[in-house]
Amino acid sequence: MSLKVFDLQCDQGHVFEGWFGSIDSYESQQSRGLLSCPICSSARVSKKLSAPRLNLGHAKAPEAATGTSHAPAAGSGFAVAAPAAAQMAQLQAEVMRHIRQMLRNTEDVGVRFAEEARRMHEGEAQERAIRGTATREERRELAEEGITVMPIPDFLDDDRLQ
């Protein structure tokens, strides 16, 4: 199965990728308000103008099998240079390694995240790396109190990634 990869941007200017089964899937999720920024959780997300990219997994290009190169037919789309695709895959793997390391080295305090972050900030609890869940309002309040937090998408805080 091939995935369509779009560059998305929230109203706060954060740019990120969205992977969809089709343009219809993107449009359906957008119209139902299911898209949100993984950085700030803003639901005001739009697709940036860019060349779409298909994620084909480990499919071999025809020229790799035959040793010949074919230019794409007019109107057939675009091609991603192999070095660029390899660099992107390497970057994604590196990011996932860092996320796994962060998850292994943090204590999951669950829904007590905002409370525990405040206790550490005020010196009532031992400072340590924690993770958990907080509402948008709780994150806003923590920021107003000078407590820096970094939201991560829920799907990244998953035992399968560790």
pLDDT by residue for the chain (162 residues), tens digit each? 567 788 888 898 888 888 888 888 888 888 888 888 888 888 899 888 755 444 445 444 444 333 333 333 333 333 444 566 677 777 877 887 887 788 888 899 999 999 999 999 999 999 999 988 888 899 999 999 999 888 776 666 555 444
Both ends of the chain: CA-CA distance in Å? Answer: 26
Q: Are residues 157 and 102 in the same domain?
A: yes
pTM above 0.75, yes or no: no
Q: Are residues 102 and 157 in the same domain?
A: yes
Judge whether 144 lies within some domain: yes
Judge whether 120 lies within some domain: yes
Judge whether 71 lies within some domain: no
Residue range of the domain that includes 143: 98-161
Judge whether 66 lies within some domain: no
Judge whether 78 lies within some domain: no
Judge whether 24 lies within some domain: yes
Q: What is the pLDDT of residue 118?
A: 96
Judge whether 72 lies within some domain: no
Q: Are residues 51 and 104 in the same domain?
A: no
Q: Which residues contact 141 (CB under 8 A, 6 or more apart)?
A: 114
Task: Find, among 122, 128, 110, the residue nearest to 147 by Cα.
Answer: 122
Q: Which residues contact 111 (CB under 8 A, 6 or more apart)?
A: 132, 133
Judge whether 156 lies within some domain: yes
Q: How many CA atoms lie within 13 Å of 119's alpha carbon, on the beta-carbon side?
A: 12
Number of structural domains the chain divides into: 2
Q: What is the pLDDT of residue 21?
A: 80
